Amino acid sequence: MNMFEFDLPTKIQAGNGTFQKVTTYIKENLTGKRLFIVTDPGIVQIGLVSTLQSNLAEQGFETTVFTNVKPNPRDQDCIQGGEEAEHFQADCIVAIGGGSVIDAAKAIAVLQVCGGRPQDYAGRGNVPKRVTPIVAIPTTAGTGAEVTRSSVITDTDKKIKITLKDVKIAPVLAIVDPELTYNLPRLITASTGMDALVHAIEAYTCTRSNPIADGLALEAMKRIYPALRTAVHKGSDKEARYELMIGATIAGMAFSHADVASVHCMAEAIGGLYDTPHGIANSMFLPYVIEYNAPADPKKHAIIARTMGIASEQASDEEATAMLVKEMKKLAEDISIPTFSSLPQVDKGDFDYLAESSYQNGSTPSNARPISKQDYLELFQKAYDAR
């Protein structure tokens, strides 16, 4: 019965065909005329950026395109983006791409106005002033970055991930169009979808959960879990794509008003060191963290299993949780997510460093069950031994 705050900084335009109306939405919601488009070469290649640019040009917007964003976005690229946005005198940043692009756009919006490096604003509430407004157009159903107030950036010197958390970097407008995901490759659908599912699970179980975020998290699970296998194996299934996309956005709202927890702490540790795609990294550790956390709150973990239809109402909390762990392993296998030990870079000699890096993550205190560096070490070992 703790006090909590719930603010909604992002206007969401969602549904099939919303991408075609981007220009209208921008005109209705923003005063900007000089739009700095942040994207990556893959999105340019499939023609989405040229469509966007020509639609905007017709309505009198000036645009320029920044494509230098890599998966697990890097501090140096964001610094370059901030300088280019300032040189262009951008009055709005339009991010079109996956979570990496949207997270980079958030850091670019900060750096354009405040200068410096992303590291200068890491942590909670450290952005000193209002930043360039951001419009986010996700092309994957995963991170929920279009509605969150966080940006995860790789510190390339230290090989760790840092997180900027501030309501000032939440996009002002999100265009959530499931049609943009129809042609996503299988592994990207699988990994980003698992990321979304982990957001919902961690938002619901973490110590910073609250009743509104709980409702969103459960709704997200109900949509994401049944749609994920279908979206991966039959990418043209419009209903599955819709459920996954909307579910991912709802999960984003849930965790941005609660937190993520130890799955993300471990995923970010290996993402920083090995550049492992975020959703794949999350999937590898999810069952083991659920197993570890469940004794701290068996009831909530059982509700997850029942909400997703994995366990019946008759199953005890312990039985339901065991079924959830088993099914999360099976799901990752069915959608061809690689195992931790199969990653070519993994070296057991790194586990101590990875455990320390996970432990230092700002979301470690949010984990449902208190967790030490030694516990993390054991979880890395367990995930590795599972093969």
Minimum CB separation from Fe ion for residue 33, in Å? 33
Helical H runs in 131-209? 186-205
Q: Which is nearer to Fe ion, 166 or 195 (CB)?
A: 195
Minimum CB separation from Fe ion for residue 235, in Å? 21
Interface ranges with Fe ion (CB under 5 A): 195
Which residues are CB-neighbours of 69 under 8 A, at least 6 positions away?
Answer: 38, 39, 40, 77, 81, 97, 100, 101, 104
CB-side exposure of 209: number of CA atoms within 13 Å? 21
Q: Which is nearer to Fe ion, 195 or 375 (CB)?
A: 195
Count of residues making up the chain: 387
Residue 152: closest CA among 195, 99, 202, 84:
99
Q: Which is nearer to Fe ion, 195 or 243 (CB)?
A: 195
Q: Which is nearer to Fe ion, 195 or 259 (CB)?
A: 195
Q: In what order do the strands lie in the sheet with 173-176?
A: 11-14, 173-176, 134-138, 92-97, 34-38, 62-66
Q: Which is nearer to Fe ion, 85 or 253 (CB)?
A: 253
Chain centre distance of CA 166: 15
Q: Which is nearer to Fe ion, 195 or 297 (CB)?
A: 195
Q: Which is nearer to Fe ion, 71 or 298 (CB)?
A: 71
C-alpha distances (whole Å) from 29 to each of 102, 175, 283, 333 are 19, 12, 37, 43
Minimum CB separation from Fe ion for residue 226, in Å? 20
User: Using DSSP, how many helices (H) and how many strands (E) does the chain show?
Assistant: 14, 9
Minimum CB separation from Fe ion for residue 252, in Å? 9
Minimum CB separation from Fe ion for residue 124, in Å? 17
Minimum CB separation from Fe ion for residue 279, in Å? 7
Cα angle 21, 97, 236 (rounded to 5 degrees) comes to 75
Minimum CB separation from Fe ion for residue 31, in Å? 32
Whether the CB-CB separation of 300 and 317 falls below 8 Å is answered with no
Q: Which helix (H) or strand (E) holds 287?
A: helix 278-293
Q: In what order do the strands lie in the sheet with 123-124?
A: 123-124, 160-165, 150-155
